[in-house]
Amino acid sequence: MFAFATILLLVACLAAAAPQRRLDHAPPQSWGNGPVRGVNIGGWLVLEPWITPSLFTGKPDWVKDEATYARYQLGQPQPYGEIGRHWDTWITYDDFAKIADSGLNTVRIPVGFWSLVPLVEGEVFMVGAFNHLKRAVGWAKSVGLQVMLDLHGAPGGQNTWDNSGQLGVIKWYDNNVNMDRTSAALNVLMREFNRAEWAGTVTSVCVLNEPNPHLSKAPAPIDFLKTFYRAAYSLIRDQSPATPAGGGIVVIISEAYQSLDYWKGFMRSPQYTRVALDWHSYHVFEDRTLALSFDDHIAEYCALVPQLVNSDDNLWTVVGEFTAAPTDCGGWAYTGSPIRWNPGMGEQMANPNECAAISGKPDTWTPAYRDYLTRSWETQTWVYEKAQGWVAWCWKAEKALDWSLEAYFDGGWLTRPRDLASGNRKFGMPCRSNSFENTFKGVSSASRCTAVPGIALLAGGAALMMI
């Protein structure tokens, strides 16, 4: 009997010590019936210098975005050699397999208009990424991930930032030609990815990433944007009708730095169906938030619950970008902009005066800083699931590993989504000092209270540097 018990104990110990079997497929997800848990495939088909500084190192100082990168490369003997290797190697099937294995159910894939429609006179971009996008959607299908297509850069530039492909340019709002070409780019996406082959894989389309009408000098830019949103909806819904069973590609519009409450009543049912509002929750790009303590950051995340819940009553609301990091220390170190981070974190850092202490290799970070990142992650994901869920920015980065979900998971110390789904969090139930669960428990969505004005970065995006 003793020997048999010993054998059972040995078998149990060996089983516990064995590595977990890789998941064959990502968990299922259905809009309106379960949270989006996803990650952005940043820095791949739309370049951003802070994600892949190696592509910009050694080039002239004026090479700072996709357009200037192309202008430089097209003057070289083998202009497509470097970008071709990047497209082939930065993201592969193995990345999608790891994403699915972590318990994520969605990938958001940014793509620029220059990969979808012909260029016009004066435009210079590296073209040819569309085939890589199709390959990526195939990878997603094979591992069960849903795809959120994201038009990240529009003709003329929609926000002045390098993520639009054109740093310092904002002419998208100036004329209908830009709107028409943007619609044409969306039509290319729909004609390919609305085919039966991709049914159940491509489930949503972000029609324009982070438009910022605050920065435009054109007359009535917000009205221009609303006109585009309606046109984009019609284009998508004409090809992908909504069905009583819940079918039809979800049309995602950006909050556009207005405020979540601003969009109350816009594009509501029954005239519009399966529309979602995309809000990006960053607390690292202004002096006030950079000066917050770790605990104050957590408190601000928890305070977002009421406005997210009320926004979700109006339109499905998803947090399409966020980070666990409390600073942009690594974020803009390679774009020529000043490095900004919180000097008040000194007690948490081994080397408080060096960005490497919080943005380099995770094995150099202090336990306190690692714990904060985990707590930030667990809190934010819990909060955003009070609406439709979240898509983290981003999957990988060369040096700014405090923004790399892959680095977190590979290190084994950030809670994987499959554990979040089971309620297995290192720091337990988030926001325990708040009564949000009781506030909304048993209350129908139509009778929820009006949202309390938020303390997040919701408006006046002119001073922000967003992904």
Is the peptide bond between 394 and the residue preceding it cis, with omega within 30 degrees of 0?
A: yes
Within a domain: 154: yes
**Confidence (pLDDT) at 364:** 80
Question: For 296-315, how does the pLDDT look when each residue is reduced to its tens digit (9 = 90+)?
Answer: 999 999 999 999 999 999 99
Distance CA 428, CA 23 (A): 25
Within a domain: 39: yes
pLDDT (average), residues 326-335: 58
Nearest to 381 by CA among 347, 424, 413: 424
Q: Six-digit token pair at 462? A: 């002119």
Nearest to 323 by CA among 118, 42, 117, 22: 42
Distance CA 32, CA 387 (A): 9
Q: Which residue's structure tokens are 């920065």?
A: 215
Residues 319, 321, 323, 328, CA torsion sign: negative
pLDDT (average), residues 114-135: 97
Within a domain: 225: yes
**Confidence (pLDDT) at 356:** 64
Distance CA 432, CA 383 (A): 12
Comparison of pLDDT for 385 and 27, the residue scoring more: 385
Residues in the chain: 467
Distance CA 249, CA 194 (A): 8
Residue type, 130: F
Within a domain: 56: yes
**Confidence (pLDDT) at 432:** 86
Q: How far is CA 209 from the centre of its chain?
A: 10
pLDDT (average), residues 25-37: 90
CA Rg, the chain, in Å?
Answer: 22
Q: Would you please indicate which residues are annotated as catalytic (active-site) residues?
A: 210, 321
Structural domains counted in the chain: 1
Q: Six-digit token pair at 41? A: 């495939």
Within a domain: 23: no
**Confidence (pLDDT) at 199:** 93
| Residues spanned by the domain of 116 | 34-286+303-339+374-463
Distance CA 456, CA 235 (A): 33
Within a domain: 168: yes
Q: Which residue's structure tokens are 């989006």?
A: 36
Q: Which residues pair with 110 in a beta bridge?
A: 150
Q: Which residues pair with 205 in a beta bridge?
A: 149, 251
Distance CA 179, CA 229 (A): 10
Residue 436, domain CATH: 3.20.20.80
